[in-house]
Chains A and B, each alone.
Chain A
Amino acid sequence: MPFTNQMKLEFLSIPANISFARATVAAFASQLEFTLSDLEEVKVAVSEAVSNSIIHGYRNAQDRFIKVYAKLTENTLELSIEDDGRGIENIDKALQPAFTTDPERLGLGFVFMQSFMENLQVDSLPGRGTLVRMSRRVGARAVHNSQEH
């Protein structure tokens, strides 16, 4: 029978929970044969998505909830990170490298998610929230498309 497993995590939008989320997902994903380096990359992707929910979705309000779903199939980790915050006006623009609505930031969160994971998909409605989905196959070489031109 093919291996499948699932978990759901729901936690307050407090920055200290970012490391909780990435460590939990990495521990869960380690049920598949990911390398340590793979897991480090998954951690970065989780960290970026959860940070975005806190910073942009909830504008640093600490009393909102973020949901993380993870699913393992035989050889793939599937992840969803969801908030019911402010949402994204223009998703195409938000996904562009170096695009940010915050001058203190670099606009690299989605770049890292795209580099380290596969099938990045962003659904968002202004005023309603944002759902980020991505997956990672065991043995897949991450793309690492750096910003170099």
Chain B
Amino acid sequence: MLLDIEFKQDTLLVRPGGELDLSVADFFRNNLEESLDREPATNIVFNLAQVSFVDSSVLGVLLGRYKRVSKKGGKVIIVSPQPQVRKILELSGLFRIMGESDSEAEALLKLG
């Protein structure tokens, strides 16, 4: 999988790409955990614009990281999911606990 992680304004900007399933779940989770260990990040923004597929294995990774940052009052925002990915996130109920924005800039503004 493609994965770009940037730390900016208290927030981890995470830009994965490709099809996200069990075959990349460990890699994705470990990279996120290492970044959260390294950076004093309060919030996470997942920019899903380049993600063409997700299934439940990846929802577990997202929820796990949500639990980690929300324990310390942090927030998670999803940016630009493609329609088929958005449908999965919606069905899963994750949008009830994570926010959604149209762009990284808007997400960062929300997180203030």
Residues of A within 8 A of B (CB): 15-16, 18-19, 37, 40-41, 43-44, 47-48, 51, 54-55, 104-106, 108-109, 111-112, 115, 144, 146-148
Contacts and interface: CB of A to CB of B under 8 A. Distances in A.
A48 B53 contact: no
B91 A47 contact: no
Nearest to A15: B23
A54 B25 CA distance: 14
Interface of B: 19, 21-23, 53, 55-57, 59-60, 63-64, 83-84, 87-88, 90-93
Tell me whether chain A's interface is mostly helix, strand or loop, or mixed. Answer: helix
Contacts, number: 64
Given A112-B88, A146-B90, A147-B91, A106 B59 contact: yes
Contacts of B22: 15, 18, 51, 54-55
Nearest to A149: B93
Interface centre among B59, B83, B84, B91 (most CB of A within 10 A): B91
Given A15-B21, A15-B22, A48 B92 contact: no
B88 A44 contact: yes
Given A40-B84, A44-B88, A144-B91, A108 B23 contact: no
Nearest to A18: B21
Contacts of A112: 55-56, 88, 91
